[in-house]
Chain A
């Protein structure tokens, strides 16, 4: 009697759980059979796992990297960035520098939006005016990034001129990701909410559906003006947890994942259907000093810290070898990255000597403010740095805070000693991290990092249009910043992607998963 009851209870439990699923047996996903890479006619689906949910299908309302990544399959920009971060034609087939502060773009003819209407210069003007306007409701999240444009005029149906406040060499790179062109007539008809529910662009993929907090589906657009994509359907799934993303990849539920933590790479080693794809990121991590107050207002103390920390060892142990040492402020994968910036040698004795010269022979007490989990191994890196500082007599401890609290404190200039920050060079150019963190017109002023001389160099880098001249300028900036040491120089991240071996695809440094030219193999 007792045994039968137990059996019934177990059967009941199993039945409830199985019936709760309600549906046919098994299998996954969205991945149908693969096709020969050269064939584009058969239906193929590729599923990408993203860690965060898109906030909007209107690219002007969501600037998160992951969503921009997805948007750039449905929408297109005037220019594009190649895999090497060089500016190449997009919707503009060519452009001319009318004057140092005015570009003229010639648009491709015959480009159709997904609703069948043709792209014209009016759509470009509408998009760029809307993204810059303070009257737009809601105001575009890109507004502050497009402030350098002062006017947009239509010359003819396929020609548009863009005026800027001053020469802006990175401008073409910024246009490549921040201003996808929207259809003026359709947008004005449906409004912001309507567009969010049914977005229309010119990209190789058109919107199919958005299951909130779950997945965005798009399919190949048959009337695309350019090279037709070889993958029929893309599904962008929101999977916040790294373990779950990896499990999905192993189980065949998704084809591509990003943000694989160093600690999880080994878990993929036994996956027969997956391989990892590391790439040097355009994101740099550094630890800034508060150079406005003692002790870090003394350059010798800042240099001492740079000598006290073995950055190579931190890369090897904390980052599992998945980072690239960077001794300057320009991410190594950026176009303007200098060839070589000298590294501070790991030399604890020299560090102690410098501290003694500066009057800190007995060291001092300090706190490193750090976020936790905002950047890969951020807190762990800070703790490793603190340990090295303690070896040279600096009594350092790490204090973490929830991101919003930490960021608020940082932006208000309230960090007392050192902070941990990453910077992503989204345009691939090399100017923005330098400008943002070291210019006195921007955050350079927060912790005493900027100077008139440095400002002049940064401005020169921006307004000089000749590429080789710009490279020399950024090399000078890197050398100067390296010597003045406003930061403890750390590293560029290595982004690790993992993907199903049936997909032929190359990762990019700018954190974009670009599948417009990817393919699926049947092998």
Chain B
């Protein structure tokens, strides 16, 4: 296991460097930020001076090398727009994203898995069909529309919940519910699909024939055997959520990382984009590692040397 973890750590480092390099190259190809950062009356000399100050006049490999060297020391350079350390800016926005992501993920898992199991064990029933319709609708409905409807109904008309922001009581409810709906739909459908496949296998028939209680057949045997695929999907979803849900964050003015990344891309704030991507990539790598380790817990046949 130790050797496995070491290998995964090295792979994680290589992944981070590769991701950063790709983002770095794409940002450089997208245009010069100097003109965007200066007021309208700035002239060519001002642009030249700013480019020198920001290090944009150096060759790209020198810029990237400098970035990696400083990142290794925990210094992610100064954001072009915020004019303060880029990683600090990213870290200030990240807790809100984590809060929203974890809440939506937990709600989707807690509700989606039982619904999916229910749907699979009652396959063909009215309840199953209802769950499938809700699941399909949840995936099909655009997030921004769901968010706007939530605001109109629960915040503006009924005034049960705040419209937006993150500092008022219950402010997490609507954005989390919006995100959960889409995630829930996917979890529910995957669980249903995997369970239906497993429930049709011979050993399930054997378990029933042996007289096992139905709940044991469902949860101890069927769900457990279906869990590897479910955990994979959940891991992918969590990875996606921790990178920030920009549409939800925009509609609900949720102060998370998704909106920050999009805005910094538009403003060509290279250090800030790189700091955010580095942060997100690190977390996604960790989530993937946890998922892989989870496989070993769920399936005793899987061993990591």
Q: Is B170 an interface residue (CB 8 A)?
A: yes
Of B106, B152, B164, the contact of A248 (CB 8 Å cutoff): B164
Measured CA separation A12–B251 after assembly (Å): 26
Do B81 and A55 touch (CB < 8 A)?
yes
Measured CA separation A427–B206 after assembly (Å): 83
A452 → chain B closest CB, angstroms: 20
Do A61 and B83 touch (CB < 8 A)?
yes
Do B167 and A141 touch (CB < 8 A)?
no
Contact (A23, B170) CB under 8 Å given A17-B180, A213-B93 = yes
Do A144 and B82 touch (CB < 8 A)?
no
Contacts of B148 in A (CB 8 A): 243
Contact with B along A41-66 (1 / 0, CB 8 A): 00000000000010110100101000
Measured CA separation A97–B123 after assembly (Å): 88
Contact (A141, B37) CB under 8 Å given A20-B172, A247-B155 = yes
Residue of B nearest to A49 (CB): B253
Contact (A250, B169) CB under 8 Å given A13-B111, A240-B259 = no
Contacts of A29 in B (CB 8 A): 162, 168
A79 → chain B closest CB, angstroms: 19
Do B166 and A214 touch (CB < 8 A)?
yes
Do A214 and B266 touch (CB < 8 A)?
no
Contacts of A405 in B (CB 8 A): 30-31
Q: Is B42 an interface residue (CB 8 A)?
A: yes
Do B167 and A215 touch (CB < 8 A)?
yes
Contacts of A63 in B (CB 8 A): 39
Measured CA separation A62–B91 after assembly (Å): 21
Do A21 and B177 touch (CB < 8 A)?
no
Residue of A nearest to B35 (CB): A411
Contact with B along A16-48 (1 / 0, CB 8 A): 111011111110110000000000000000000
Interface residues contributed by chain A, number (CB under 8 Å): 64
Residue of A nearest to B171 (CB): A21
Q: Is A83 an interface residue (CB 8 A)?
A: no
Do B252 and A2 touch (CB < 8 A)?
no
Q: Is B163 an interface residue (CB 8 A)?
A: yes
Q: Is A165 an interface residue (CB 8 A)?
A: no
Contacts of A193 in B (CB 8 A): 84
Q: Is B156 an interface residue (CB 8 A)?
A: yes
Q: Is A290 an interface residue (CB 8 A)?
A: no
Q: Is A253 an interface residue (CB 8 A)?
A: yes
B268 → chain A closest CB, angstroms: 6
Contact (A138, B255) CB under 8 Å given A18-B173, A61-B83 = no
Q: Is A266 an interface residue (CB 8 A)?
A: no
Do B115 and A9 touch (CB < 8 A)?
yes
Contacts of A23 in B (CB 8 A): 169-170
Do A26 and B165 touch (CB < 8 A)?
no
Residue of A nearest to B93 (CB): A213
B160 → chain A closest CB, angstroms: 7
Binds A, one of B16-24, B43-51, B135-143: B43-51
Contacts of A240 in B (CB 8 A): 250, 253, 259
Do A247 and B30 touch (CB < 8 A)?
no
Contacts of A241 in B (CB 8 A): 250-251, 253
Do A9 and B111 touch (CB < 8 A)?
yes
Do A213 and B259 touch (CB < 8 A)?
yes
Contact (A408, B83) CB under 8 Å given A16-B110, A239-B164, A251-B163 = no
Contacts of B49 in A (CB 8 A): 134, 139
Query: Which chain B residues numbered 148 to 206 have a C-beta less than 8 Å away from chain A?
Result: 148, 151-152, 155-156, 159-173, 176-177, 180
Do B32 and A17 touch (CB < 8 A)?
no
Contacts of B36 in A (CB 8 A): 404, 407
Of B107, B169, B176, the contact of A25 (CB 8 Å cutoff): B169
Contacts of B156 in A (CB 8 A): 247, 250-251
Measured CA separation A468–B295 after assembly (Å): 82
Of A28, A213, A403, A408, the contact of B168 (CB 8 Å cutoff): A28
> 7 interchain pairs (CB within 8 A)?
A12-B110, A56-B84, A142-B39, A212-B93, A213-B255, A238-B255, A239-B165
Given A24-B169, A55-B83, 16 more pairs with CB closer than 8 A: A2-B125, A9-B114, A17-B176, A21-B170, A22-B172, A29-B168, A56-B83, A58-B83, A138-B78, A211-B167, A213-B256, A214-B255, A247-B156, A251-B162, A403-B266, A436-B41
